[in-house]
Amino acid sequence: MTTPKLRMAMIGGGRDAFIGAVHRKAAALDGQIDFIAGALSSNPDKALASGRDLGLPADRNYPSWRAMLDAESKLPRDKRIDFVSIVTPNDTHFEIAAAFARAGFHIVCDKPLCHTSAQARELCDIVSQTGVVFAVTYNYFGYPLVKQARHMVRQGLLGNIRKVIVEYNQGWLATALEKSGQKQADWRTDPARSGAGGAIGDIGSHAEQLVSTITGLEVEAICADLTHFIPGRRLDDDANLLIRFKGGAKGVLIASQVEIGHENDLRIRIWGDKAGLEWRQENPNELWYKPDGQPVQLLRRGNAYLSDDAKAATRLPPGHPEAFFEAFANVYLGAAAAMRKDPKASIDFPTVYDGARGVHFIEKTVESAASDRKWTSAQWKP
């Protein structure tokens, strides 16, 4: 049985962009999504040139997202794009997402969702009013063994969760790379485009989301120490947090971009009163399970002993490693299933609410870092 393909437009992601190409490959991987329209840069000429590079048809290669919104809104339902994928710098997410969602288009939006909790609340309101699907590409959510970990926690294999250590170790900003004109470094260290958080926003938010996904724990209070080690850098490049979760669990969150020798080292360890779990993004096909008093077990992606949702998120047999693109594609698949209201597919992706909670987390971390009090209340209410 053929599944009709969804029509995707992309906003941002033109020439020289990194993450746009990742989104396009991820969206294309399973043959369920066609990339048919774009407004690929805030610069109209660059937008159009980028669209031509990628073979977009001329009539849907837009000079701006406003032009796209205007034109696509006028097309009949069965012709127009199903959703936009927003991969612009963080400061523009809110305006674009709000506009398209209000117009009834589904949204896939990069993280962090937006700059302020007020914006985030407004996006949540629009979603609840319009009923559009709104996915936020916390891509690490898509790894099969993250789903397995979540499953094991939900099943009670860990017992009551006591402690979480989550780390996101990077080293690429250990020098003043932004002064060299490197595009990624430039905008990610610029508060106007990145928001109030540097490392904590860019990668700490992934760490927060991973904890939330796997454990379901809610942050109650935060004690943060934010540092920038590069003189003149305007945002933190190193963040260390103590966390108290509702119910008594304790956490440590480390997010750094000056830890030389670490590439994209997101890792999490969780302990309950029955067992522990450990997972690392750079070796994503392995999950360590540590039941009390017994040998440690190594669970590997693709095996029959895994949970149904971990198996459903897998495309290859054991030992044929899957990685970053497939996890990213799983977020698109989850969103696509929701857009299609597919009753059979598991609808499982990070939503606008995850995005809003993430923005709140960044805000509270920055607030805590500026405070002399040990603990800053940080509970988020949807």
Please, which of residues 97-136 interact with a copy of itself by CB under 8 A? Answer: none
Distance of closest approach, residue 192 Cβ to a copy of itself, in angstroms: 24
Binding flags for a copy of itself, 150-169, as an x/- string (CB under 8 A): ------------xx-x----
Distance, in Å, from the CA atom of 73 to the CA atom of 71, rounded to the nearest integer, reads: 5
**CA distances in angstroms from 87 to 24, 31, 109, 342, listed in the order given:** 10, 21, 7, 26
Q: Are the C-beta atoms of residues 107 and 131 closer than 8 Å to each other?
A: no
Q: Are the C-beta atoms of residues 310 and 327 closer than 8 Å to each other?
A: no
Which of 66, 102, 179, 374 binds a copy of itself (CB under 8 A)? It is 374
Distance, in Å, from the CA atom of 119 to the CA atom of 113, rounded to the nearest integer, reads: 9
Q: Is 183 in the site for a copy of itself (CB under 8 A)?
A: no
Which of 289, 332, 353, 380 binds a copy of itself (CB under 8 A)? It is 289
Give one DSSP letter per residue of 234-255, joined into a string: SS-SEEEEEEEETTS-EEEEEE
155: Cβ–Cβ under 8 A, 6 or more apart, which residues?
Answer: none
The sheet carrying 134-136 orders its strands as 33-39, 6-11, 83-86, 106-109, 134-136
63 three-state secondary structure? coil
Identify which of residues 121 and 151 has a Cβ nearer to a copy of itself in the complex: 151
Binding flags for a copy of itself, 216-245, as an x/- string (CB under 8 A): -------x-x-x-x--------x-x-x-x-
11-37 core/surface letters (b: 16 or more CB in 10 A; e: else): bbbbeebebbebbbebbbbeebbebbb
Q: Are the C-beta atoms of residues 14 and 63 closer than 8 Å to each other?
A: no
Residues 315-334 that bind a copy of itself (CB under 8 A): 315-326
Which of 260, 308, 342, 377 binds a copy of itself (CB under 8 A)? It is 260
Distance of closest approach, residue 214 Cβ to a copy of itself, in angstroms: 16
Q: Which stretch binds a copy of itself (CB under 8 A): 65-73, 98-106, 193-201, 252-260?
A: 252-260
Residues 8-27 that bind a copy of itself (CB under 8 A): 18, 21-22, 24-25
Which of 269, 309, 345, 346 binds a copy of itself (CB under 8 A)? It is 269
Identify which of residues 132 and 199 has a Cβ nearer to a copy of itself in the complex: 199
Residues 354-373 that bind a copy of itself (CB under 8 A): 371-373
Q: Name the phi and psi angles at 47, rounded to 5.
A: -60, -50
Which of 290, 357, 360, 364 binds a copy of itself (CB under 8 A)? It is 290
Conformation bin of residue 248: beta by default, left when phi > 0, alpha when psi is -120 to 50: left
Q: Is 295 in the site for a copy of itself (CB under 8 A)?
A: yes
Per rule CB under 8 A, count of chain residues that contact a copy of itself? 89
Identify which of residues 194 and 256 has a Cβ nearer to a copy of itself in the complex: 256
From the number of C-beta atoms within 10 Å of its C-beta (0-12, 13-18, 19+), residue 296 rates as: exposed
State the angle between helix axes of 144-154 and 205-215 in degrees (0 to 180), rounded to the nearest 10: 50
Distance of closest approach, residue 173 Cβ to a copy of itself, in angstroms: 12
170 three-state secondary structure? coil
Which of 110, 265, 348, 354 binds a copy of itself (CB under 8 A)? It is 265
Q: Is 78 in the site for a copy of itself (CB under 8 A)?
A: no
Q: Is 298 in the site for a copy of itself (CB under 8 A)?
A: yes
Residues 39-58 that bind a copy of itself (CB under 8 A): 52-55
Q: Is 189 in the site for a copy of itself (CB under 8 A)?
A: no
Q: Is 75 in the site for a copy of itself (CB under 8 A)?
A: no
